[in-house]
Structure 1
Amino acid sequence: MIKMTTIKSYYNDYIKDISIVFLLLLPLTICNAITVFVGHALSMAEFSDAANKFFYFSDLLIAIYPITLCIITSYYISTKHGMNAMVVVPYSLLLLTAVSIPNGLVAANTGLPNNPLIALLAAIISALCCVSFRLDPLDPSRIDFVKRLYKQAAHFFSFLLLTLMLAKITEIVIQLSQGASKFIALNPLTFFGGLAYQFILGLLGAVGINGHNFLFRAKQQLFEDTQLHLAAWQAGDAPLPILGQGFYDAFMSMGGSGNTISLLLCILLFSKDRRHIALAISAIPLVIFNINELLLFGLPIIFNPLLIVPFVFVPLVSFVVVYSAMSLGLVNHVGTIVDWMTPPFISGYIATQNSFGGVILQFVVITLGTLIYRPFYLNYVGRSRQSNMTMTRQSEIESSTLKAFLGDVNKAMGSYVSKHDISRRVNNMLNNGEFVMHYQPQVNMKNPSHLSFESLVRYKDKTGKLILPVFIDDFYQLGAIKQLDQMVIDLVLTDMKKLPLEHGCKVSVNISAESIADPAIIHFVVERLRFYEIEPSSLEIEITEEAIITNDKQIAKNIEALQALGITVAIDDFGSGYASFPHLLKFNFDKVKLDRSLLLNTQNEREKNLYQLLAKISEVTGCVLVAEGVETEIEEQFVASCGIDIIQGYYFSRPMPLDDAQQWASNKIHA
């Protein structure tokens, strides 16, 4: 059951990811369809110059498709994983160019990379490389700018080596494929080779892979051979063959791969499911231009055992019917290469040398396809209705509706767009303002000369306005909280140089769950203490108990390593919802900070007894206790009566800038 759930989860993620990429590319595809349609309309109206301009723009849109696919895919993956897309996109374009140009994978008329499969792989590989090493935009104002600069330079050099290796691998793969073609004939210009070609395209499309991208070499060879055959026919040197690029584009992909215009008509004619009808009606404008992704992902067809069969089988039947009709001389052979986005019937007329026989043949093929799709579709709908009895099947039916499909994709896109907004907001903070530290004193009631502060990060925008740390959640969502922790540690150590450490002043730093669970945190802290020449005994690390829950074994090692250096380790927010005595016994903390929430209702006897009980934990654990959030004299007196000597809160001082913290410390020293 768990395996089935896992497979279903992977399936849903796969559908969602390729759906989002499709939707992001859809404007480019639709623009291409419009230019082709207008070009054909102008050509029929005998405005050849204007028509040629539109066909020229269509060629440009096709030429930039692989590059656009590369950019959008790398953008999507990087944004999904909380990376800045402007870091990833240049890497992916570099890889695409470096692999394509040396291996001749470029368009002859534009010189641009023209292999969508290479574009897709370049985007995925580049995004994974950048995400794995968490590369962020360089900011000269950051303290660790030089370190990050060298890190990115080393990463980029390594990426260049990877690029050279991938270019060589691509060259070897091309050579192997050319050698294998001598033994494995996939020749779309022969009857059986054409059936095999069409069958593979259908199978790939059934799992959400654009078969034309995957079989790009075969398609490219088909196009080149078709041009040669057409030129020989027009020169009168050879007869016009039946099979060619125009044959496949005009008759094998009507409504998109799988001849899904037949499925569209099947839904409109035979379905009683209002959701499917709404989906089909919404898909009509796209299917007219042979764009079938809305049906492909909306029903869905991909990985759907019932609908995969006609999706693969209908084009094979169409192939045999069309080939037979042309072999018998019932319909003219295809005499031109028709753009694949040309609407059905128009494409049949143009392809068969302006013959209505091509239109009739397309009508016959679409009708046959509709009849073939019908039993499979009705069976699929029938099973869906029966499965409506269970919650699992009901969820499956709901996923068949246009609303659910677009809603899920929109929700996912909204999440990633939101992350992009967060990324932009954080980058704006890094570039246009500054992070500063404020310090709140911890007062020792028995010995006021013992100085200690808790450091709290703030942000000051370019106007000088101070912003509270609501931005911390942004760093969490971007997966960059460790970077924020490191920056905070640098800022605190810089400020500590100006505090009276020689008088025993100690400063605490809050770090996140991700940082305290990272084995690298020890090396980082040691390196920064050495760089700023700060004694470890002057630093205190505060950890929330929520962090301990995540990875207690590694955190236990890190706590021991920090304490071995002489750094005090405190558990913060004890009692805020995660606290438990086993953690105090399991980890050897130096200090326990009682959360303010424990003080809120101490006027009640029950809450007062609880606080007094918690105040005795130092007797069991040997930890120093700190009462947080003391705001009134009554609270201060109650905490002191519980035997807690160190108190922190607004009653004594709010968090203050470094200059005020220095003055506070000076007053205590000379008091």
Structure 2
Amino acid sequence: MLKLPSLRSCYDTYVRDISIVFLLLLPLTICNAISLFSGHFLNFAEQGELAKRFFYFSDLLIGVYPIALCIITTYYLSSKHNVSPLIVIPYALVMFTGISIANDLVAPHNGLPNNPLIGLLAAGVASAWCVTFKVYPLDPSRIDFVSALYKQSLHFFGFLLLTVFFNQLTGTIILESDLFRQDLALNPLTISGGLVYQFILGLLGSIGINGHNFLFRAKQQLFEDTKNNLEAWEMGEEPLNILGQGFYDAFLAIGGSGSTLSLLLCILFFSKDKRHLTLALSALPLVMFNINELLLFGLPIIFNPTLIVPFVLVPMISFVVVYSSMSLGLVNPVSAIVDWMTPPLISGYLATQNSIGGVVLQVVVIAIGVLVYRPFYLHYAGKSTVDAKIMIRRHSIEKSSLKSFLGDVSQSMGGHVNHHEISQRVGKMMTRGSFTMYYQPQVNLKDPNDIAYESLVRYRTEDGHILPPLFIKDFHQLGAIKHLDEMVIDLVLRDLKKLPLNQGCRVGINISAESVSDPDIVDYISERLYFYGVPPSLLELEITEEAILEDHVQIRQNIEILQGLGVKVAIDDFGAGYASFPHLLKFNFDKVKLDRSLLLNATEERGQNLYQLLAKISEVTGCALVAEGIETEQDMEFVESCGINICQGFYFAKPMALDDAIDWAASASASASASKQTLNV
């Protein structure tokens, strides 16, 4: 029975993934924060023209951020699921731009899509589509290029239909949102209205939406009402309102939205992770000026189910505390609208008529925020206040999302660089030089005329050098191993009719775990057999024990269908380290190839006894046995004494090119005929 992942496992995976994505974008975020800070500093220094340039850079980085988020997320998700990002990224960008333009979700000054939620949606949907309905990069050199082109075009058209659906869905949500916003009569100058106002700002900010833009009408009205009240108060015409623009800016956004100065101090006080402390220390200079992007995207806070709760809750608690203190007369009410970049404590002093009480109140609010953030942060960080030692031990084996995520990010960054290098290597191999097949005979000691081959892929460089199959690992890491398998099948079937194979002899093809568990592999093999006009009886697939650990049901079904077509299936590297014997009972193999490691251990009596025991497998299962790794005459004599007649190894022949394999077969056949004539005489 398929075991579904636990909610905890899904949560850990989600947090790790979203952390990696946002941390990959952190340089862009840092540059934006520095540009913004520099612009305001230059304005303060009366360098307006120079400040405009920095504000331009800040606007530019903000403008491209949603697109960068979409691309990075798509790249990460597709690479994680072994799908080529070169395919998936265009899908995601088409959906992102299509939905954004159709629903006017673009920045007015540059026309770029500006909604990160839509960017994440497009990345997720495109990745899920291409993982569920897989396609592979087009290769013009392949014989089936035209059919693959039409298949991918149909695949993309299906995705366009899905884009239309999400476009309509987004439009409906926006329409309902507009109606809600029109019906929402918020008055931030009242207690209930202020709490709702602050709640909506925090909730929208936690998912990457600028709440002030969403509540622009209420925000604008708040500013005008505050300005009018301050003017009337100064003239002695009205009492000073407690609630106003300065109230929200000075006391509910200390360190930036979500009162993130409290979170930063919480990290500095309670975190034991040096890497995490470094992040907090790096963010401290900016947070002191209420620029909190480093924490928002570095932890991250946005899209993080755990940290969203205190991010929304702390400003609302601060609202109650500050309002109560001022209404009771403990602290002067706010009498000024201070600039949002004014550092905490200073802003409290200036906002409350140059009162130390405002400073003390900010300290109290910050301390309360630290206490509220603490349990959520520790939970997110993977620590427990009940038994820290047990939790630290448990998270040392990678069950902690935050304790390990920075390491995951570092590994992921290195992995993406390595992935790019691999992609370049494979790309060069696909466009320069050529892949070719080498063939190693499987010799029947009882019947020299009965010769089969195992095919082995090699790469021939432009100058004719043959490279060993180390590149197979590159195809695995690139998620293109099935493409290589299909190419090998084509090359072997093209060569197969040239080989002098007698009735009953076959050419074996090694096939990867990804391919043997793919439901489409059966149709592909049958179609290629028909295309080349090769009888299925001449083909043999070799799969490793590791492959059949993946999906028993699908693999068993694929094996049965292929055998029904006449294709033989062998298990390769039998006894190389997995639970070998149960596999022979679950799968009906035609041939078992004993791994060379078993023969190497046969120098001692126990190893010999084991090999002799394995040689009796054919009596129980009816499988033909092949002894791999025969390199000496002693090896051959030993396996023959065990009752194994089919051998493969350097003692008989090394892997060779097609022409050499044909010559070798002719020579072996001639030697067999000469021996037969000698016996007849």
Q: TM-score, normalised by structure 2?
A: 0.82
Partner secondary structure for residue 410 of structure 1: helix
Superposed CA offset, 1:600-640 (max 9, x none) = 14343333333333333333333322221111122122223
Superposed CA offset, 1:455-496 (max 9, x none) = 011223444433322333333344433332222111111111
What is the Cα deviation at residue 108 of structure 1?
A: 1.7
Q: Which residue of 1 is the match for residue 172 of structure 2?
A: 172
Partner secondary structure for residue 209 of structure 2: helix
How far apart in 2 are the matches of 1:211 and 1:189?
26
Q: Which amino acid aligns with 2:197?
A: Y
What is the Cα deviation at residue 111 of structure 1?
A: 1.6
Is the 1:437–1:456 contact (alpha carbons within 8 Å) kept by the matching residues of 2? Answer: yes
Partner secondary structure for residue 181 of structure 1: helix
Q: How does 1:14-33 map to 2 (within 5 A)?
A: 14-33=14-33
How far apart in 2 are the matches of 1:638 and 1:66?
67
Q: How does 1:160-239 map to 2 (within 5 A)?
A: 160-185=160-185, 192-202=192-202, 209-210=206-207, 212=209, 215=211, 218-219=214-215
Partner secondary structure for residue 602 of structure 2: coil
Q: Taking structure 1 as reference, are residues 38 and 569 closer, same or farther at Cα in structure 2, changes over 3 Å only?
A: closer
Q: Does residue 550 of structure 2 align to residue 550 of structure 1?
A: yes
Q: Which residue of 1 is the match for residue 306 of structure 2?
A: 303
What is the Cα deviation at residue 140 of structure 1?
A: 1.8
Q: Which amino acid aligns with 2:319?
A: L
Which of 354, 369, 374 is residue 373 of structure 1 equivalent to? Answer: 369
What is the Cα deviation at residue 397 of structure 1?
A: 13
Q: How does 1:589-628 map to 2 (within 5 A)?
A: 589-628=589-628
How far apart in 2 are the matches of 1:361 and 1:434?
78
Is the 1:251–1:362 contact (alpha carbons within 8 Å) kept by the matching residues of 2? Answer: no
Partner secondary structure for residue 543 of structure 2: strand
Q: Does residue 514 of structure 2 align to residue 519 of structure 1?
A: no
How far apart in 1 are the matches of 2:175 and 2:467?
60
Partner secondary structure for residue 138 of structure 2: coil
Superposed CA offset, 1:256-301 (max 9, x none) = 3321224445676x76979687664343134235216548976999
How far apart in 2 are the matches of 1:278 and 1:56?
29
How far apart in 2 are the matches of 1:120 and 1:295?
16
Is the 1:322–1:361 contact (alpha carbons within 8 Å) kept by the matching residues of 2? Answer: no
Q: Which amino acid aligns with 2:74?
A: S
Partner secondary structure for residue 643 of structure 2: coil
Q: Does residue 387 of structure 2 align to residue 387 of structure 1?
A: yes
Aligned length: 654
How far apart in 2 are the matches of 1:564 and 1:162?
38
Q: Which amino acid aligns with 2:637?
A: Q
Is the 1:345–1:359 contact (alpha carbons within 8 Å) kept by the matching residues of 2? Answer: no
What is the Cα deviation at residue 653 of structure 1?
A: 0.8
How far apart in 1 are the matches of 2:398 and 2:538?
60
How far apart in 1 are the matches of 2:251 and 2:162?
42
Q: Taking structure 1 as reference, are residues 569 and 130 closer, same or farther at Cα in structure 2, changes over 3 Å only?
A: closer
Superposed CA offset, 1:322-380 (max 9, x none) = 99799x99545549xx6x7x35369959xx9x989589797455323223235556788
What is the Cα deviation at residue 127 of structure 1?
A: 2.2
Q: Taking structure 1 as reference, are residues 363 and 575 closer, same or farther at Cα in structure 2, changes over 3 Å only?
A: same
Q: Taking structure 1 as reference, are residues 588 and 13 closer, same or farther at Cα in structure 2, changes over 3 Å only?
A: closer
Which of 521-530 and 147-156 deviates more? Answer: 147-156
How far apart in 2 are the matches of 1:70 and 1:244?
37
What is the Cα deviation at residue 589 of structure 1?
A: 2.7
Q: Which residue of 2 is the match for residue 649 of structure 1?
A: 649
What is the Cα deviation at residue 99 of structure 1?
A: 1.0
Is the 2:15–2:401 contact (alpha carbons within 8 Å) kept by the matching residues of 1? Answer: no
Q: Which residue of 2 is the match for residue 471 of structure 1?
A: 471
Q: Does residue 343 of structure 2 align to residue 344 of structure 1?
A: yes
How far apart in 1 are the matches of 2:47 and 2:482?
63
How far apart in 2 are the matches of 1:92 and 1:286?
33
Q: Which amino acid aligns with 1:85?
A: P
How far apart in 2 are the matches of 1:467 and 1:271?
55
Is the 1:74–1:126 contact (alpha carbons within 8 Å) kept by the matching residues of 2? Answer: yes
What is the Cα deviation at residue 93 of structure 1?
A: 1.9
How far apart in 1 are the matches of 2:370 and 2:291?
20
Is the 2:437–2:456 contact (alpha carbons within 8 Å) kept by the matching residues of 1? Answer: yes
Identity of aligned residues (%): 53
Q: Which residue of 1 is the match for residue 141 of structure 2?
A: 141
How far apart in 2 are the matches of 1:396 and 1:201?
37
What is the Cα deviation at residue 113 of structure 1?
A: 1.6
Q: Which residue of 1 is the match for residue 37 of structure 2?
A: 37
Q: Which amino acid aligns with 1:173?
A: I
Q: Which residue of 1 is the match for residue 85 of structure 2?
A: 85
What is the Cα deviation at residue 64 of structure 1?
A: 2.0
Superposed CA offset, 1:158-186 (max 9, x none) = 12222222222222222222223354445
Q: Does residue 497 of structure 2 align to residue 497 of structure 1?
A: yes
Q: Which residue of 1 is the match for residue 442 of structure 2?
A: 442
What is the Cα deviation at residue 587 of structure 1?
A: 3.6
How far apart in 2 are the matches of 1:167 and 1:313?
35
Q: Which amino acid aligns with 2:343?
A: P
Q: Which amino acid aligns with 1:210?
A: I
Gaps of 5+ in 1: none
Partner secondary structure for residue 136 of structure 1: coil
Partner secondary structure for residue 93 of structure 1: helix
Is the 2:602–2:608 contact (alpha carbons within 8 Å) kept by the matching residues of 1? Answer: yes
What is the Cα deviation at residue 58 of structure 1?
A: 2.0
Q: Does residue 559 of structure 2 align to residue 536 of structure 1?
A: no
Partner secondary structure for residue 387 of structure 2: helix
How far apart in 2 are the matches of 1:401 and 1:513?
30
Partner secondary structure for residue 179 of structure 2: helix
Q: Which amino acid aligns with 1:316?
A: F
How far apart in 2 are the matches of 1:246 and 1:84?
51
Superposed CA offset, 1:572-600 (max 9, x none) = 22232336445435543322222222221
Q: Taking structure 1 as reference, are residues 188 and 520 closer, same or farther at Cα in structure 2, changes over 3 Å only?
A: farther
Q: Which amino acid aligns with 1:119?
A: G
Partner secondary structure for residue 64 of structure 1: helix
How far apart in 2 are the matches of 1:464 and 1:246?
76
Q: Taking structure 1 as reference, are residues 187 and 515 closer, same or farther at Cα in structure 2, changes over 3 Å only?
A: farther
Q: How does 1:49-64 map to 2 (within 5 A)?
A: 49-64=49-64
Q: Does residue 95 of structure 2 align to residue 95 of structure 1?
A: yes
Q: Taking structure 1 as reference, are residues 203 and 90 closer, same or farther at Cα in structure 2, changes over 3 Å only?
A: same
What is the Cα deviation at residue 78 of structure 1?
A: 2.0
Which of 553-562 and 564-573 deviates more? Answer: 553-562
Is the 1:262–1:366 contact (alpha carbons within 8 Å) kept by the matching residues of 2? Answer: no
Q: Taking structure 1 as reference, are residues 241 and 137 closer, same or farther at Cα in structure 2, changes over 3 Å only?
A: farther
Is the 1:388–1:394 contact (alpha carbons within 8 Å) kept by the matching residues of 2? Answer: no
Q: Which amino acid aligns with 1:11?
A: Y
Partner secondary structure for residue 571 of structure 1: strand
Q: Taking structure 1 as reference, are residues 70 and 548 closer, same or farther at Cα in structure 2, changes over 3 Å only?
A: closer
Q: Taking structure 1 as reference, are residues 250 and 110 closer, same or farther at Cα in structure 2, changes over 3 Å only?
A: farther
Q: Does residue 254 of structure 2 align to residue 258 of structure 1?
A: no
Q: Which residue of 1 is the match for residue 456 of structure 2?
A: 456
Superposed CA offset, 1:413-433 (max 9, x none) = 444554454444433433344
Q: Taking structure 1 as reference, are residues 430 and 60 closer, same or farther at Cα in structure 2, changes over 3 Å only?
A: same
Partner secondary structure for residue 639 of structure 2: helix
How far apart in 2 are the matches of 1:111 and 1:305?
30
Q: Taking structure 1 as reference, are residues 219 and 565 closer, same or farther at Cα in structure 2, changes over 3 Å only?
A: same
Q: Which residue of 1 is the match for residue 679 of structure 2?
A: none
How far apart in 2 are the matches of 1:404 and 1:70?
24
How far apart in 2 are the matches of 1:334 and 1:379?
33
Q: Which amino acid aligns with 2:292?
A: I
What is the Cα deviation at residue 139 of structure 1?
A: 2.6
Q: Which residue of 2 is the match for residue 104 of structure 1?
A: 104
Q: TM-score, normalised by structure 1?
A: 0.83
Q: Taking structure 1 as reference, are residues 375 and 168 closer, same or farther at Cα in structure 2, changes over 3 Å only?
A: closer
Gaps of 5+ in 2: 233-237, 672-681
Q: Taking structure 1 as reference, are residues 659 and 549 closer, same or farther at Cα in structure 2, changes over 3 Å only?
A: same
Partner secondary structure for residue 609 of structure 2: helix
Q: Which amino acid aligns with 2:127?
A: A
